[in-house]
Amino acid sequence: MSSKNNIKVMPGAIVCEESKLKGDITIGSHSIIHPCAAIVAEAGPIVIGDYCLVEEQAKIIHRLPFDYAEQENAPVLIIGSHNVFEVDCAVEASNKIGCNNVFESKSFVGNKVNVTNGCIIGAGCRITEEQTLKDNTIIYGSNCFQREGLDRPVTQTAQIDTLSKMLPNYHHIRRPLKKN
């Protein structure tokens, strides 16, 4: 894979210059990338949907499983809209992350886990075994118990609106692509 960075920021997104972005990354409109967040596209491009929130020290790393055969066409990691990556979580998905998910503080999702829609990975929970989480799955507790949630997590639009106004006052912001 090429080591060249190709960062595309859609209009309305707030991406702090202090964030660590490496590889081919597209950030959807109205998404927020905090300073000290890290997004690394090692195995192929990452496309982040609209209204996603990536907080301080959160890490999104597109890394293929060790037993994955090399391919010429790099797979794209597609992250849906309205996802929240809380402080110091680490997500190494290699395929796709649906919409409306919450990765709570210090959670870890390995590269053989597929996350669908409306899932919550609880604070400190680590899931590494190969699996696909069904819609509205909640992982919680020190033993990473699973249950089905009744509703999807609430979207963070109020927090995104507040951060969109505050972050530019205190941090340098990457310029979004110009509207045509």
Domain around 126:
6-167
Neighbours of 42 (CB within 10 A): 15
Burial string for 2-33 (b: 16+ CB within 10 Å, else e) reads eeeeebebbeebbbbeebebbbbbbbbebbbb
Does any domain span residue 180? no
Does any domain span residue 12? yes
Give the mean pLDDT of 159-179: 85
Helix (H, G, I), strand (E, B) or coil at 127: strand
> For residue 71, what pLDDT is reported?
54
> For residue 54, what pLDDT is reported?
98
Instruction: Report d(CA 41, CA 156) in Å as an integer.
Output: 25
Instruction: Report d(CA 52, CA 45) in Å as an integer.
Output: 17
Neighbours of 77 (CB within 10 A): 27
Does any domain span residue 78? yes
Does any domain span residue 16? yes
> For residue 24, what pLDDT is reported?
95
CATH code for the domain in which residue 104 is found = 2.160.10.10
Does any domain span residue 179? no
| Dihedral-angle region of residue 159 (phi above 0 means left; psi in -120 to 50 means alpha; beta otherwise) | alpha
Domain count, the chain: 1
Q: In the structure, what pLDDT confidence band is assigned to residue 150 with cuts at 50, 70 and 90?
A: confident
> For residue 80, what pLDDT is reported?
97
DSSP string, 36-87: T-EEEESSS-EEE-TT-EE-TT-EEEE---TTPPP-SSPPPEEE-SS-EE-T
> For residue 1, what pLDDT is reported?
42
Does any domain span residue 43? yes
Whether the predicted pLDDT of 72 surpasses 80: no
| pLDDT tens per residue, range 87-126 | 999 999 878 899 999 999 999 999 889 999 999 999 999 9
Quote the tokens at residue 138.
């909640």
Give the mean pLDDT of 127-140: 95
Percent share of the chain, pLDDT over 70:
91
Does any domain span residue 92? yes
Does any domain span residue 172? no
Query: In Å, what is the CA distance from 66 to each residue of 5, 34, 100?
Result: 23, 30, 28
Chain centre distance of CA 42: 14
Instruction: Report d(CA 106, CA 140) in Å as an integer.
Output: 12
| pLDDT tens per residue, range 17-58 | 999 999 999 999 999 999 999 999 988 999 999 999 999 999
> For residue 69, what pLDDT is reported?
56
